[in-house]
A = this chain, B = another copy of it.
Amino acid sequence: MVLGGTMGLHLAVRIAKLMNIELGDIEVKKFPDGETYIRVKSNVEGKNVIYINSLQRNPNDQVIETIYTLETLRDLGAEKVIAIIPYMAYARQDDRFNPGEAISIRILGKLFRSIKVDRIYTIDMHLHRIRDPREVFGEGFRNLTAVKELAKYVKKHYNLENTVVIGPDEESEQWAKIMAEELGVDFGVLEKRRITAEQVTIEAKGVNVKERDVVIVDDIISTGGTIEAAVKALGNLGARNIIVTCAHPLLVGNALPRLLKLNIVDLIGTDTVLSPISKVSVAPVLVEALKKDLKT
């Protein structure tokens, strides 16, 4: 059986259809005093249960809803509990950048470990300073990627004859590499280079973008600042048509109009977080992983 939380129900529906399994029912509401009420309405006793929820738009509400639901599923006698967190909140606070800061993702991981789930899947989690996320989230943790699905969409809709893939900064190299392999093209990343104390240039490392079409790929688009800088730099470097892709289109505040102003051909995200650019579903990625998992 597959169940969805407030920010995961759309994916639960899609997975239930793709796997031809039962879609269960959970009642979630807020009391007037702001407390979350959860009731699992389907009978889960003795069943393998998949629960999906993204930790967005109000991440704290979603953390509580997710942890309360997962614990309740176990408490109600579910046999195996698989948690899918397509978008994991707090992943960027993965170190103490300034003295005294909470390393939020480690604490969130601890909360997840305190309730016992058999698997935690997530998608393209931003994990740059944590070597082994299983230390944080437990042995059942798996970080899947949506980049192949993004690549399929790009392949289907665009001619890739003269195309390269670009990650907007060094941290995005991992995703640029996967995208490039899927598309069968070269890739590189953008890099800042300081010329003088005042002057900084951005260069494409590992690939020439001049007079070539570019597919940008990143994990998260939040305020859109990184992408805006990348598109402008690529324009200066002589790139032609630019397509922007990302796994998690958070699109905070004015990010969408900010990106729409740019000279780009398409703007593509997935449905880990529902948005006006969620053109690609991660359901097939999740189904593939689930099938492998449930076989064993």
Contacts and interface: CB of A to CB of B under 8 A. Distances in A.
A156 to B, nearest CB: 14
B250 A12 contact: no
Contacts of A68: 102, 104, 107
Interface in A231-266: 250, 252-254, 256-257, 260-261
Nearest to A36: B60
A102 B38 contact: yes
A254 B107 contact: no
Contacts of A111: 67, 111, 114
Most buried by B among A107, A115, A261: A107
A153 interface: no
B98 A35 contact: no
A4 B257 CA distance: 9
Interface in A87-141: 89-90, 93, 98, 100-104, 107, 110-111, 113-115
A50 interface: no
B64 A76 contact: no
A178 interface: no
B101 A38 contact: yes
Interface in A21-40: 23, 32-40
A90 to B, nearest CB: 6
Given A33-B252, A68-B104, A72-B103, 9 more contacts: A9-B254, A12-B257, A32-B253, A33-B222, A34-B59, A37-B102, A60-B63, A67-B111, A274-B276
Among all A-B residue pairs, the 10 with the closest Cβ atoms: A114-B114, A9-B257, A40-B100, A38-B102, A72-B102, A13-B260, A32-B252, A60-B64, A274-B276, A68-B102
Interface of A: 4, 6, 9-10, 12-14, 23, 32-42, 56-61, 63-64, 67-69, 71-72, 75-76, 89-90, 93, 98, 100-104, 107, 110-111, 113-115, 222-223, 250, 252-254, 256-257, 260-261, 271, 274-276, 278
